[in-house]
Each structure stands twice: as structure tokens, then as C-alpha cells.
Structure 1
Amino acid sequence: MRPGRVFGLCIGAGVLAGALMLAINAIVVQGWLDQLADLYIDEFLLAGDLAEEEFDQMLAAARLQNLALPMVYGVLGGALVAGAYLRIGKDAFKVALVVAGAAWFSLYVMPAVKYAPNPDVLFNPEGDGGYFVLFASYSALSGLAALGSAVAFAKTKRKNWYFGAAGVYLGIIGVMYFLFPAFPEPEFVPKQLLSGWQGGIAAGMTALWFTLGIGAGVLLEREEKKGAGRGI
């Protein structure tokens, strides 16, 4: 299968997955975000600790993230699946689903366990405290650990190499969890509100990665069968 075709199919699946995440953000996450904004207005704006114009800019930026990031994630995720499939060259559905699932786990789940989404970094001008640097660093190292473990154990060509790769990855991420500093959640935000917002984000990210994996897998597998029928 031609590389251009592979990338086109996978990125198309990524755009569809991004659209699903965008819908979840618009329907679910945005409602929780607005409630958080109201809470921060009472906590900071009315107390005079934050200018109204500055707060409006923060809220607009948070809403823009909800709309723009899903498509960015979808396109990049599609490119990741395409690259993995081109390297392996067979078992399209299995490859797409495994790569998407591994990416979801290593690039979202594990980083979110350590650094859960935090409204302070959105609405409190003094609340970042290096959160984005910590989250990005943790995510990058987690992804590299997953990739390195998979590549190293795949070269052994053992039947169940993925169990060894998973064990090494979990060992690395466990060490990282204790080495990286903690980031506190805002104490004045009700747990129900915080959990609802974080849960909405989790639902969107999960829907994105598995829709991408299934969609890309189905499309690539169909192309594989067409190629086999033509003797390619």
C-alpha cells in the first residue's frame, strides 16, 4: 500500500475521532468548564485579585482549547498509526488498535494519573507553577518509555514479547511517578465539580484514541484486502 494512501486513511480516521472528541467537549466538558469559571469569578474576580479583561482572555483560551486540540490530537494520532503500520506492513486492524491503545495509555492515562487536569492553570494567573512543563515532560518520557520498551522487546521476536515490554514500561513509569514532584489541586473547588470536568476530558480522550484505532484499522484492513485481491 502506498504511504500517501496509508497516511490519508489514518489521518481521515483521526479527523473523525477528533470530531467525536470535539462533540464531547462541546456537550459535556464545556458545561463543567463554565461552572468552574463561575466559581473562579467568585474566588478571584470579585475579590479584586484578577482583572475582568484578563479573566475573559483566560476563559476564551480555555474554550478555544476545547475546540482546537481534538483535531490536532486526531491528525497527530493518525500520523502515528500510519507510521507504525508502514513499518510493520501487515495485520492492519491489530496494529492500529494496539498503537492507539498504547498511545492512549502512555500519553494520556499515565500522565493524567500523575498530573490530572487542573483548573488553576486555566483561571488562576499564579496557578500554573510549572504544570505544563511537568505534564509535557512526563508525557514525553512516558511515550518514549513505551516506545523504547516495545521496540527493544519486539526485536527479541519472542511469542509474548509484549508482556515483557509492558512490565518494563510499568517499572519505568513507576519510578517516574515518585521522582516527579506533585502538583496540588485547588482546595476551594468542590470535588464533584472537579471530578465531573476531569471525567468529561477523560471520556473525550478515550473516545478519540479508540475511535481512531478502530477507524484506521477498518480502513487499512479494507485496503489490505483490496490489494490482496489485485495480487499486490
Structure 2
Amino acid sequence: MNSISVRALLVRGMLAGLIAGAFALVVAYLLGEGPVDAAIAFEESHAHEHGGEELVSRTMQSTAGLATGVLLFGVAIGGIAALAFCFALGRIGRFGPRATAALVAFGALLSVYVVPYLKYPPNPPAVGDPETIGKRTTLYFLMILLSVLLSIAAVILGKRLAPRLGNWNATVAATAAFVVAAGLAFAFLPSFNEVPKGFPATVVWEFRLATLAIQVTVWTVFGLVFGHLAERLLAPAPAAAEGTSTASRAAAAAN
């Protein structure tokens, strides 16, 4: 794939990420703001001291701040996923641009979010010990790195086993290997249970479901939009190709 195609796909990936971010913003506002407000209310009601006026108002956080964060996140992951698409196209099987985009989006959702989510689920405000935030953040990103590397290893393993076991059996074997390896990581990495006493369990549950819904929205919309844009770039419409072929035959007949 030449540099011009990569650049064009990168731009389309960022555009698709922006569109995905816009959809995710709606989900975040509708599903996520309620649990966040409830968690903040719990934190304020149990706080013994107040540190003065907040630097950024809650209204600003839930509108412009939320929009900026989600949209920038969409653009960033769109660009990264587009580069991953450029590498994966033609290397993970005989898939077209749409199918490859869908597989990249699904793989990213699984490895970058779902697997780390199962080990270290996100928590709303007021949940978590401030003294362990550095350790928790480091372990979370370590889990993301391990999950991505294990996913890549599973794909490589599946491709190498396919000639001997067939595509289906190779896929099952590679998936099983990924699950076992991820399970070992879950077992050896430390866990945290820092939900304060009396904190509503429903708020934690609703917040975690909201974050999962946001990620599913981002990657689903990205996969659909980017797949369409990539296919239009890399595989022109058959009608256009047929029209070109007809014009060429007509010109040849005239000569």
C-alpha cells in the first residue's frame, strides 16, 4: 500500500472517529451523566471538608468538557485504528475493506477495552483510594498492553495453525490460547476493591454499563463508517468500473 493511500485512509479514519465520537457523546450524556451526578452527590454528602470552589463547574464538565474529551478521543482512536487497518488489510485473510474494518474495530474493542474492563472495571467519582490511583492506572495500562499483545499473538497463532487444522479449528485454538493467557494475567495481577461503605451499588453498575455502552458505540460506528469510506477508496463501485470498460470497448470499436 503506497503512502498516498495510507494518508487518505488516515484522514478517513479520523473522520470516521469523529462521527463515532459524536454518537458516543450522545450515549455518554444520556447514560453516563446520571451515575456521575449521583456519585458526586454521595461524595459531597460524606465529605468532611470542602476545598473551596471548583475550578471547572459541573455544568461545563458535563457539556463542553465532555464533548471535547469524547470527540478528541474519537479522532485519536480513529487515526490509530486506520493505521492498524492499513497493516491488517490482506494480512489476516482474504477480507475486503469493509470486513477488515469490522474485524479491526471488533478486535480493538475486545483487546483495548473489554478485556481490561473485566479485570479493572471503571468506577464513578468517590470510588477508589486516592493513594492507589498511580498504581491502579499503571496496572490498567499494563493490562491493555498485555491484551493487545495477546490478541496479536492469537492472530499469528491462528494463521500458522490454519494450514494444518483448517480455518475453523485454528480460530478455536487461537481463541482458547488467548483466553487462557488472559486468564493467567487476571490471576497474577492484583485486584482492587475500594468501593466506600454505603456507596449505592446501582450507581456503580449503571456507570460501568454506561462506559461499556460508550465504547461499543464508538467502535461499532467507527467500523461501519470507516469500512464504507475505505471501500469507496480502495474498491471503486462496480458500476463505475463497468462504465469505464464500456467506454473503452466503444472507443476500440470506433477505431
Q: TM-score range by the shorter chain?
A: 0.7 to 0.9
Which residue in 2 is equivalent to 1:162?
A: 171
CA contact (8 A) 2:21 2:74 kept: yes
Which amino acid in structure 2 is aligned with residue 38 of structure 1? A
Higher radius of gyration, 1 or 2: 2
Cα offset, 1:175, TM superposition: 0.3
3-state secondary structure, aligned to 1:130: helix
Q: Could you tell me how far apart the structure 1 residues matched to 2:38 and 2:85 are?
A: 42
Q: 1:202 aligns with which of 187, 208, 212?
A: 212
Cα offset, 1:26, TM superposition: 2.1
Cα offset, 1:221, TM superposition: 1.6
Cα offset, 1:113, TM superposition: 1.0
Taking structure 1 as reference, are residues 125 and 86 closer, same or farther at Cα in structure 2, changes over 3 Å only?
closer
Stretch deviating more after TM superposition (77-86 or 175-184): 77-86
| TM-score (normalised: structure 1) | 0.83
| TM-score (normalised: structure 2) | 0.77
Which residue in 2 is equivalent to 1:82?
A: 82
Which residue in 2 is equivalent to 1:212?
A: 222
2:153 is the alignment partner of 1:148 = yes
2:201 is the alignment partner of 1:191 = yes
User: Aligned ranges for residues 107-186 of structure 1 at < 5 Å?
Assistant: 107-119=112-124, 125-126=130-131, 128=133, 130-156=135-161, 158=163, 159-160=167-168, 161-186=170-195
Count of residues in correspondence between the two structures: 226
Q: Could you tell me how far apart the structure 2 residues matched to 1:65 and 1:130 are?
A: 26
Q: Could you tell me how far apart the structure 2 residues matched to 1:156 and 1:72 are?
A: 39
Taking structure 1 as reference, are residues 172 and 123 closer, same or farther at Cα in structure 2, changes over 3 Å only?
closer
Q: Could you tell me how far apart the structure 1 residues matched to 2:84 and 2:138 are?
A: 27
Q: 1:223 aligns with which of 230, 233, 239?
A: 233
3-state secondary structure, aligned to 2:153: helix
**What is the aligned-residue RMSD (CA, Å)?**
2.8
Segments of structure 2 that go 5 or more residues without pairing to the other structure are: 246-255
2:67 is the alignment partner of 1:67 = yes
CA contact (8 A) 1:37 1:59 kept: no
CA contact (8 A) 2:129 2:194 kept: no
Post-superposition Cα deviations, 1:80-110, rounded to whole Å, max 9, x if no partner, equal 3322332324611111111111111111111
Q: Could you tell me how far apart the structure 1 residues matched to 2:21 and 2:210 are?
A: 15
Cα offset, 1:77, TM superposition: 2.7
Stretch deviating more after TM superposition (3-12 or 156-165): 156-165
CA contact (8 A) 2:85 2:104 kept: no
Taking structure 1 as reference, are residues 173 and 121 closer, same or farther at Cα in structure 2, changes over 3 Å only?
farther
2:47 is the alignment partner of 1:37 = no
Post-superposition Cα deviations, 1:16-37, rounded to whole Å, max 9, x if no partner, equal 1111112222222122211110
Cα offset, 1:126, TM superposition: 4.0
Q: Could you tell me how far apart the structure 2 residues matched to 1:211 and 1:38 are?
A: 33
Cα offset, 1:157, TM superposition: 5.0
